[in-house]
Chain A
Amino acid sequence: EPEVTQTPSHQVTQMGQEVILRCVPISNHLYFYWYRQILGQKVEFLVSFYNNEISEKSEIFDDQFSVERPDGSNFTLKIRSTKLEDSAMYFCAILAGVPNEQFFGPGTRLTVL
């Protein structure tokens, strides 16, 4: 099973601050995803990233969100000006070699105060 790590495991920030969440797939993959899960709710898709550009994004992924793969290894999600409702678990996922299979990282818990 492909391994995905995420940092930090927990991020606490003040409302209006910028946060950057990082994902590090251990091996090379083509598709990367960010999902979020508000406490007690289902996992929701944010964005997919393929060939160094956004492939698909949801309504949640508005102008305050951005993604990039700055050094060919890390995959980051930036939230420019956090809101209270951004508090959630954020999961990075990668597409494995087998078609469709997505493997998730352990998540970053974001708490916006």
Chain B
Amino acid sequence: GENVEQHPSTLSVQEGDSAVIKCTYSDSASNYFPWYKQELGKGPQLIIDIRSNVGEKKDQRIAVTLNKTAKHFSLHITETQPEDSAVYFCAASGNTGNQFYFGTGTSLTVIP
């Protein structure tokens, strides 16, 4: 099955700086890569996703890049704010309806 690895496990940045979280996957059949933000005591919230037919996607301060050849994808958060502090999970999936395989999570702390 699919194996998703995520780095780093913890990340601290100063407010206004950028944060980058990286994930790798093993199954070349995976074609959908979402990123979730999880705040304490809440469920994962979808913040951005990318499909295998594109290399980059941006939504305001958040961007995701995908390198299919190398089987890795990354989350980029620019101009970080304290409210960005949370645990971020990457995931990989194949066809619609298939399960998500999650990474181990990155705890991001934005220091004011």
Contact = CB atoms under 8 A, between A and B. Distances in A.
Given A100-B93, A101-B34, A45 B43 contact: no
Contacts of B98: 48, 56
Interface stretch (A12-20, A64-72, A80-88, A103-111): A103-111
Interface of B: 32, 34, 36, 42-46, 49, 51, 89, 91, 93, 96-105
Contact of A105 (B43, B51, B97): B43
Given A42-B104, A104-B43, A106-B43, A99 B96 contact: yes
A45 B101 contact: yes
Contacts of B46: 1, 101-104
Interface residues of A, number: 26
Contacts of B45: 104
A58 interface: yes
Given A101-B46, A104-B45, A107-B42, A45 B32 contact: no
A29 to B, nearest CB: 11
Contacts of A50: 97
Contacts of A99: 32, 96
Given A1-B46, A102-B46, A107-B43, 13 more contacts: A4-B43, A42-B102, A43-B100, A43-B102, A48-B97, A48-B98, A56-B98, A100-B49, A100-B51, A104-B44, A104-B45, A105-B43, A106-B42
Contacts of A48: 97-99
A81 B96 CA distance: 32
A14 B45 CA distance: 31
A8 B16 CA distance: 39
A53 interface: no
Given A42-B89, A42-B105, A91-B43, A101 B99 contact: no
Given A91-B43, A103-B46, A41 B104 contact: yes
Most buried by A among B32, B49, B93, B97: B97
B53 to A, nearest CB: 12
